[in-house]
Amino acid sequence: MIYNKKYQKIFILISIFNLTVTNLNAQKKTTGISADTKIEILIKKMTLEEKVYMIHANSSFTSGGVKRLGIPELVTSDGPHGVRPEFGRDWELDNNLLDSGTYLPTGICLAATWNPKLGYAFGSVLGSEAKYRGKDVILGPGINIIRSPLNGRNFEYQSEDPLLISKMVVGYIKGVQNQDVSACVKHFVANNQETKRTSIDVHMSDRAFREIYLPGFKAAVQQGGVNAVMGSYNKFRGQWASENNYLLTQILKKEWGFKGLVMSDWDAVHNSLQALLSGLDLEMGTDLHMLPNPDYNKFFMADTALSLVKQGVITEGIINEKIRRKLYIMFKTNMIDGKRLKGEYNTTAHQKIALKVASEGIVLLKNRDNILPILKNKINKIAVIGYNADREQSMGGGSSQVRAFYEITPLQGIKNIAVNTIVSYAQGYDIKRNATANAELIKSAVNLASNSDLVIFIGGSTHGYDYSVWSDNAYDAEDTDKPDMNLPFGQDVLINALLKVNPKLVVVLMGGGALDMNGWLDKTPAVLQSWYPGMEGGNALAQIIFGEVNPSGKLPVTFPKKLEDHPSQKLGEYPGNLDNLTVHYYDDIYVGYRYYDTYNVQPQFAFGHGLSYTTFDYSNLKLLQSGNKVTFSFTIKNTGNRTGGDVAQIYVKPIASLLPRPEKELKDFKKIFLKPGQSKKVTFMLDKNAFMYYNDIINSWVLDKSNYEILIGSSSRDIKLTGKIEL
Ligand code: GLC
């Protein structure tokens, strides 16, 4: 058709107008369509091959998308306290990439802050940095119960107590996911040891399962709204956890209403049909044992899944449900629709949060005669001694490793603060497993100590497995448990030699948990537990030692006097029967302080213990009960001469119960900061859930009619106020 020029212009204008209107309507229609509907539309458009391509890995840390439908790959990365260095698509750690990022304190240090707000801040940093690095899922938090002090990954986890885990994990997850990144809580469930972690079969009672090992995950799902869950390597009651219908479908999805994605741990899938029918949605890492030339079609949920559907052994609906969940988290993090937040990397704001978490997570265990804080202008010569004083830890631990943008070691932190003091360093010991202390190193350390006003010893266990030096020095690392609770590398001998020439000794222990201090604790005036405190850890430690920060950390795990006292040893089993590869949790619900307090075993340092440079007074408890709910308040006063923080811990103690119960259990807590002389009225409410326990004879949560004590303490063993109620 020929138009004259004038009409042609009008025609073009009308067509543009129509197009815009159609587009707007279409947009209005698509923006008006719910994500759930969009997911169903996409599923309908996908071929079976495309669906199967999405439910297994297609590289070391990614799984397939459907380009033609605008569905991207799902990109995951470790880890729980920083974004892992780039491994590319086939497990090659690329040491030339400038991917160094924020190295946050590890999980147990975060938990030691007892500050849920910091959990959120921590998660925000992690999510923002993951986003910046192009990751859609960060593989953390790790929240397995710290059941044995020997577990190699305790550093990465949080606590022996499910309530403390639950409070800390919710903030962490929300922090991550508010950055348009999915958190992936792990390892579901009962991965509480690294010894034979990929083959051990864990057995426990339903009481232990429901009261101790599940609650943290339940909080992550129901309160934290976590997008992803990672199944663990081990078996649970005879069935691999990452293909376990009871865990993944019955509990996680049906009982808890989990709508997100369940992925396996890497190389944790063993059987196609079992995995497909168990509720596992995404198979990762099976290529690990196919390296160096992995064929991703050989994954259990790849070609075999395709043929199982084609043969009619399983329905396509089973595959659709997995796709539905994967698309659900993609829409929820704006991967397919909408604008995603950009993410930031190595910002000073992130580094400040790393410092804050370390400052509130380091625990002052002992401070005889208030030797701490050190008045820096009163000290001329300081000896800093110990391998850990000058060691960067960030690349240690295994999959949770981080290439830190920088790492302030304890020695550097002390030098940063004590600028007018002579700070000298001696290594003191070498890191060879089971080494006797090296005579030369001891001699130079003792010599330095004898010529110093103060000695700061920085020891503990050393974050091994940093891919450069592995095996002989690996403590606090994945895939390996500690051999015992002894200070490794002959440190006991060294500490005693130092004490002999200079009793003004401060011991700082790094590591993932309790170590045996019997050889020197009584003679040592001050002890600090600094965990692996991240890139700003040296500054945080020094600020505490020299009093710029008042320590407010509290132990998230009990420190036993000796390994034999520990319930996993005393009641067993740990590490279980390594012939038939089973471990029975005969310690049952008596994990950590639940054991020490019920069996009257004196710990070295109690759960919830942590000193301050000031003092606090608790008074004026008032209880108001209505039915099965109790509201109570009390006053905390800072009776010292400097600002400080304390954690008011609320324990419930049943006076009588139908089934045996722990002497006390943590049911709430609040961290309160007060200026000198300041008082604050603190209020709590406990409903009936705080008094119930799981009766595994009738398989339900029950509330016994009984008297209960409400214990208010600044540790599980330092009870300040007690109230009584009858339910
Ligand atoms: C590891 C760990 C898991 C990690 C995964 C990917 O074996 O158990 O925590 O996220 O593999 O590296």
Domain locations in the chain?
Answer: 27-332, 348-555, 616-726
Ligand 1 probe mutation, 399, 402, 480, most atoms within 8 A of CB:
399
Region 12-35: mean pLDDT is 58
Query: Is the C-beta atom of 78 inside 6 A of ligand 1?
Result: yes
Write the residue with the smallest CA distance to atom 9 of ligand 1.
399
Distance separating alpha carbons of residues 621 and 633, to the nearest angstrom = 6
pLDDT of residue 337: 80
Nearest ligand 1 atom to the CA of 197 is 8
Query: Is the C-beta atom of 61 inside 6 A of ligand 1?
Result: no
Share of the chain above pLDDT 70, in %: 94
> Residue 645: pLDDT above 90?
yes
- Band of residue 12 on the pLDDT scale cut at 50, 70, 90: low
Distance separating alpha carbons of residues 347 and 367, to the nearest angstrom = 35
> Residue 29: pLDDT above 60?
no
Distance separating alpha carbons of residues 459 and 297, to the nearest angstrom = 48
Q: What number does CATH give the domain 27-332?
A: 3.20.20.300
- How much is the pTM? 0.94
Query: Is the C-beta atom of 399 inside 6 A of ligand 1?
Result: yes
CA 347 to centroid of ligand 1, rounded, Å: 27
- Band of residue 92 on the pLDDT scale cut at 50, 70, 90: confident
Mean predicted lDDT score pLDDT of the chain: 94
Region 482-488: mean pLDDT is 93
- Band of residue 341 on the pLDDT scale cut at 50, 70, 90: confident
Nearest ligand 1 atom to the CA of 140 is 10
> Residue 474: pLDDT above 70?
no
Write the residue with the smallest CA distance to atom 3 of ligand 1.
265
Alpha-carbon 289 to chain mean position: 27
Extract the runs of DSSP E, i.e. beta strands, from 415-464.
422-426, 454-460
Q: Are 80 and 106 in contact (CB under 8 A)?
A: yes
Cis peptide before 189 (omega within 30 of 0): yes
Alpha-carbon 383 to chain mean position: 34
Ligand 1 probe mutation, 265, 283, 467, most atoms within 8 A of CB:
265
Work out the number of other CB atoms within 10 angstroms of the CB of residue 572: 14
Query: Is the C-beta atom of 429 inside 6 A of ligand 1?
Result: no
Instruction: Return the active site residues.
Output: 265
Nearest ligand 1 atom to the CA of 399 is 12
Token pair listed for 560: 């036993």
- Band of residue 28 on the pLDDT scale cut at 50, 70, 90: very low
pLDDT of residue 95: 80
Domains 348-555 and 616-726 are alike in CATH topology: no
Ligand 1 probe mutation, 63, 135, 139, most atoms within 8 A of CB:
139
Query: Is the C-beta atom of 84 inside 6 A of ligand 1?
Result: no
Residue type, 588: D
Share of the chain above pLDDT 90, in %: 88
> Residue 457: pLDDT above 70?
yes
CA 140 to centroid of ligand 1, rounded, Å: 10
CA 266 to centroid of ligand 1, rounded, Å: 6
> Residue 1: pLDDT above 50?
no
Region 100-111: mean pLDDT is 98
> Residue 19: pLDDT above 60?
no
Distance separating alpha carbons of residues 23 and 18, to the nearest angstrom = 8
Measured in degrees and rounded to the nearest 5, phi and psi for residue 282 equal -145, 125
- Band of residue 463 on the pLDDT scale cut at 50, 70, 90: confident
CA 650 to centroid of ligand 1, rounded, Å: 35
pLDDT of residue 13: 60
pLDDT of residue 433: 53
Query: Is the C-beta atom of 139 inside 6 A of ligand 1?
Result: yes
> Residue 4: pLDDT above 70?
no
Query: Is the C-beta atom of 492 inside 6 A of ligand 1?
Result: no
Distance separating alpha carbons of residues 573 and 25, to the nearest angstrom = 65
CA 12 to centroid of ligand 1, rounded, Å: 58
Q: Is 701 helix (H, G, I), strand (E, B) or coil?
A: strand
CA 139 to centroid of ligand 1, rounded, Å: 8
Task: Give residues with Cβ within 8 angstroms of 67, minimum separation 6.
Answer: none
> Residue 3: pLDDT above 80?
no
Query: Is the C-beta atom of 376 inside 6 A of ligand 1?
Result: no
Query: Is the C-beta atom of 194 inside 6 A of ligand 1?
Result: no
> Residue 221: pLDDT above 70?
yes
Q: Is 528 helix (H, G, I), strand (E, B) or coil?
A: strand
Extract the runs of DSSP E, i.e. beta strands, from 332-485.
363-367, 381-385, 422-426, 454-460
Q: Are 402 and 362 in contact (CB under 8 A)?
A: no
CA 184 to centroid of ligand 1, rounded, Å: 11
Is the model more confident about 466 or about 511? 511
The label of the residue with tokens 């057995």 reads 203
> Residue 436: pLDDT above 90?
no
Region 227-241: mean pLDDT is 98
Distance separating alpha carbons of residues 231 and 225, to the nearest angstrom = 17
Fold designation for 616-726? Immunoglobulin-like (2.60.40)
Query: Is the C-beta atom of 588 inside 6 A of ligand 1?
Result: no
pLDDT of residue 18: 58
Task: Give residues with Cβ within 8 angstroms of 721, minimum separation 6.
Answer: 618, 619, 621, 634, 711, 712
CA 284 to centroid of ligand 1, rounded, Å: 10
Cis peptide before 187 (omega within 30 of 0): yes
pLDDT of residue 588: 98
- Band of residue 462 on the pLDDT scale cut at 50, 70, 90: confident
Domain 348-555 coded CATH 3.40.50.1700: yes
